[in-house]
Amino acid sequence: MAKKQISADQLIATILSGIEDVKGKEINILDLREIENTVCDYFIICEGTSNTQVNAIVNSIQKKVSKELKDKPWHIEGTDNAEWVLMDYVNIVVHVFQKHIREYYDIESLWGDAKTTVIETNY
């Protein structure tokens, strides 16, 4: 049986829901499709206030995507110190930062040509 194709929109919505469930902050979506030689179509970037919250965000995303879409990340790295965790869903890469690490690397400005969508949160 062939694996059911999941749309990028479905995956993005499910990832955002996972982030919001544990109150991830400062959520941005970078659309990289118009930029040449990118490794994926989208970056989803957010932050947690501590390594505990960063890991909670990562776990929430994994559980929600697994349960609702029957999908799992191709690769995850950074969970040991949980300052910057990268979750690779192939066409969508999720970056979960602690605030000071996000400010230091400032990947949003590195990808300044990307169309950025800021997700408003009410918490």
- Find the mean pLDDT for residues 9-22: 97
Q: What is the pTM of this model?
A: 0.94
Name the burial class of residue 86, with classes exposed (0-12), middle (13-18) and buried (19+) by CB atoms within 10 angstroms of its CB: middle
Radius of gyration of the chain (CA): 14
pLDDT category at 5 given cuts 50, 70, 90 is confident
Choosing among 1.20.140.10, 2.60.410.10, 3.30.200.20, 3.30.460.10, the CATH entry for 8-119 is: 3.30.460.10
pLDDT tens, position by position, 90-110 = 999 999 999 999 999 999 999
